């Protein structure tokens, strides 16, 4: 086993679960996330990425995951998906006692998880990379292969969409009252 | 409240100075909460290594095949360029076509500009372009020879190479839109598809066989050459292909 293979195996063994978690946040489906990660890892290995700079391999894997996810969405958009039960409308604010802290209250009273999946893939990718991976705008831009301004735009539009969907004005108002 | 959410709440506290809005805090908390819900799995390192190697082999094979195709295409392109030497400066995108010469067993590759358009139609109902390799003066001299034999020939108005030249001769009539190009001469239909090949040199000066009568050369569809066959049988020079056109600029 060469150095490249050894590094690849090391990367898989050490980062596989983290990559799957990140991919899961993009896809919303564990199996799809695993498929996505494995496809990205295979692709990166086949391209001999990281032969000269092993440190770059994870970056390319993450970038591949993002690209594959967006490509997959483009291929499958417009297709009908079978679900076991009809989706319920997203909950609105105001159904959880105000004694619950803001973050928990929002997360609990509204199905933010489902709301996140109403975002476009690029918006969701920007959100996941910014708020889960804690990457800077520049790092997100490199991973998404776009400009920093685009990342800011995607993020802002995603938050605006969620805000409109979940009625954050109400949340902010209550939060301010809570702080006061 | 989970530890993660506590951290999220701490970060969202305005006194902490992060400046995140409630929706950002909630998004962060939600993402972290759901990420931890993914059950861990033994990393399939061996399987990924195996599939990666297989993919790499396929990729390498395709790369090698692609390189061979590129090299082959380059060789063909050089070959075609050698035949199609012209004084034209506009590099029209060529399409390489292969035709079999009437008197040559080798495959001939002619470059045909996709955007070639015939110029103004001449009074004759036959026309083609002058192959770029033709020296107009020579062709005119050949045609003059035909004319001296009583053939109906329209000489070109300009003897300059690459300028128009009329090689007209009745009664061979080409359907409108057909043109000729290359060396040996290849005739194309209006859509640029090769129709048939005559030998290098102008028809009418090379003799019947060179024109391809009866030697396997495909004739223009709908072209009645019975009279030419009769001429060829008698050993006379066939009526010459015609044409004349200003060499239409490549656009």
Q: Which domains does chain A have, with CATH numbers?
A: 1-77 (no CATH), 98-180 (1.10.10.10)
What pLDDT, on the 0 to 100 scale, is given for residue A67? 85
User: Which of A5, A30, A162 lies at the smallest CB-CB distance from B27?
Assistant: A162
Residue B109, classed as helix, strand or coil, is: strand
Which tokens hold the place of B104?
A: 């040559």
Task: Using CB atoms, pick whichever of B23, B38, B59 lies closest to residue A21.
Answer: B38
pLDDT at B164: 24
Q: Which two tokens stand for residue B90?
A: 């506009």
pLDDT for res B110: 38
Would you state the structure tokens that stand for residue B75, as one six-digit string? 């060789």
- At B131, list the tokens: 């192959």
- What's the average pLDDT block by block, 10 residues per block, for chain A (180 residues)? 77 84 87 87 81 73 85 63 51 48 55 83 90 88 88 91 72 58
Residue count (chain B): 251
Alpha helices in B36-157, H assignment, sequence order = 45-83, 136-148
The reply to whether residue A21 touches residue B35, judged by beta carbons under 8 angstroms, is: yes
- Are the beta carbons of B23 and A17 separated by less than 8 Å? no
Please give the average per-residue pLDDT across B228-232, as a whole number. Answer: 41
Average pLDDT on B4-16 reads 37
> Residue B177, by phi and psi: left (phi above 0), alpha (psi -120 to 50) or beta?
left
Residue of A nearest to B57 (CA): A46
Within 10 A of A47 (CB to CB), how many other CB atoms are there? 15
Separation between Cα atoms, residue B1 and residue A81, nearest integer Å: 34
Q: pLDDT tens across B137-165, in order?
A: 444 454 445 445 444 333 333 333 222 22
Task: Enumerate the residues of chain B whose CB falls inside 8 A of the CB of residue A33.
Answer: 38
CB contact under 8 A, B23 and A159: yes
The residue assigned the tokens 């989706």 is A87
The predicted pLDDT at position B236 comes to 37
B247 pLDDT higher than 60: no
Report which secondary-structure segment, H or E, holds B10: helix B3-12
The answer to whether the pTM exceeds 0.90 is no
What average pLDDT does the structure give for chain B?
47
């Amino acid at each position: 086993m060469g150095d490249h293979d050894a590094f690849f195996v090391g990367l898989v063994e050490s980062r596989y679960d983290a990559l799957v978690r990140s991919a899961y946040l993009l896809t919303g489906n564990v199996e799809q996330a695993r498929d996505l990660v494995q496809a990205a890892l295979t692709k990166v290995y086949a391209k001999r990425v990281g032969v000269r700079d092993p440190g770059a391999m994870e970056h390319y894997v993450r970038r591949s995951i993002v690209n594959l996810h967006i490509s997959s969405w483009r291929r499958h958009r417009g297709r009908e998906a079978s679900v076991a039960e009809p989706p319920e409308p997203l909950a609105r604010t105001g159904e959880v006692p105000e004694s619950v802290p803001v973050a928990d209250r929002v997360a609990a009273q509204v199905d933010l998880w489902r709301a996140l999946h109403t975002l476009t893939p690029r918006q969701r990718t920007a959100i996941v990379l910014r708020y889960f991976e804690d990457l800077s705008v520049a790092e997100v831009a490199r991973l998404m292969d776009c400009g920093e301004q685009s990342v800011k735009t995607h993020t802002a539009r995603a938050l605006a969409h969620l805000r409109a969907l979940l009625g954050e004005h109400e949340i902010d108002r209550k939060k301010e009252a809570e702080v006061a | 409240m989970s530890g993660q959410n506590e951290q999220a709440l701490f970060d969202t506290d305005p006194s902490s100075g992060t400046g995140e809005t409630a929706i950002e805090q909630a998004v962060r908390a939600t993402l972290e909460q759901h990420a931890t819900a993914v059950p861990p799995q033994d990393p399939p390192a061996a399987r990924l290594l195996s599939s990666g190697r297989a993919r790499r082999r396929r990729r390498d094979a395709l790369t090698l095949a692609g390189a061979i195709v590129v090299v082959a295409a380059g060789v063909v392109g050089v070959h075609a360029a050698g035949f199609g030497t012209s004084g034209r400066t506009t590099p029209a995108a060529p399409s390489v076509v292969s035709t079999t010469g009437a008197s040559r067993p080798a495959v001939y590759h002619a470059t045909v500009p996709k955007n070639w358009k015939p110029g103004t139609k001449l009074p004759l109902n036959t026309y083609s372009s002058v192959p770029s390799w033709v020296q107009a003066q020579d062709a005119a001299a050949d045609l003059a020879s035909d004319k001296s034999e009583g053939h109906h020939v329209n000489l070109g108005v300009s003897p300059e190479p690459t300028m128009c030249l009329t090689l007209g001769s009745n009664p061979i009539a080409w359907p409108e839109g057909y043109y000729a190009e290359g060396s040996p001469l290849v005739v194309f239909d209006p859509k640029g598809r090769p129709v048939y090949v005559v030998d290098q040199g102008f028809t009418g000066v090379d003799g019947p066989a060179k024109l391809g009568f009866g030697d396997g050369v495909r004739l223009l569809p709908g072209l009645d050459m019975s009279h030419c066959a009769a001429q060829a049988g008698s050993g006379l020079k066939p009526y010459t292909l015609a044409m004349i056109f200003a060499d239409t600029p490549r656009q």
